[in-house]
């Protein structure tokens, strides 16, 4: 099946710990994105990558880091510097050549206590 997978579905961490969220796609898409959703809100962009080994900060990048070593993978690390990390995290991708349409993974719910 073609699509975007995110793991784990639920993640619990203690304050002060870094945590890495996985995002993998087999759609052969060049561009990948990480968004954050807080309760009752729309999504906000954390980081994006348009090509392997290149990524850029989005609107709320502070306290997060990413890497893009492979076209298929775009992991997000939530660091201890992120002041309010508890949220729902969604990964997305799109083909740069076809259209601007983005497709989303199922998301990871992170709870930090």
Q: Does 106 bind another protein (CB under 8 A)?
A: yes
Binding of residue 102 to another protein (CB under 8 A): yes
Interface segment toward another protein; rule CB under 8 A; list 14-22, 67-75, 77-85, 96-104: 96-104
CB 1 within 8 Å of CB 41: no
> Residues 22, 75, 79, 103: which binds another protein (CB under 8 A)?
103
CB contact at 8 A, 75 and 89: no
Site of tokens 């639920």: 10
Query: Which residue carries 């719910």 as its tokens?
Result: 109
Instruction: Out of 13, 58, 77, 79, name the contact with another protein by CB under 8 A.
Output: 58
Query: CB count, 10 Å around CB of 60?
Result: 15
Q: 22-51: which residues touch another protein (CB under 8 A)?
A: 31, 33, 35, 37, 40-45, 48, 50
Phi-psi group of 63: left, alpha or beta (phi > 0 → left; psi -120 to 50 → alpha; rest → beta): left
DSSP letter assigned to residue 100? S
Q: Which is nearer to another protein, 61 or 80 (CB)?
A: 61
* Contact footprint for another protein (CB under 8 A): 31, 33, 35, 37, 40-45, 48, 50, 56, 58-59, 88, 90, 92, 94, 96, 99-104, 106-107, 109
């Amino acid at each position: 099946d073609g699509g975007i997978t995110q793991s784990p579905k639920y993640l619990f961490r203690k304050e002060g710990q870094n945590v890495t969220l996985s995002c993998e796609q087999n759609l052969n898409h060049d561009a990948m994105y990480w968004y954050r959703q807080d309760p009752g809100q729309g999504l906000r962009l954390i980081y994006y990558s348009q090509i392997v080994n290149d990524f850029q900060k989005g609107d709320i990048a502070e306290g997060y880091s990413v890497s893009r070593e492979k076209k298929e993978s775009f992991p997000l690390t939530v660091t201890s510097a992120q002041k309010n990390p508890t949220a729902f995290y969604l990964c997305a991708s799109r083909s740069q050549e076809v259209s601007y349409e983005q497709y989303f993974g199922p998301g990871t719910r992170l709870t930090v206590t």
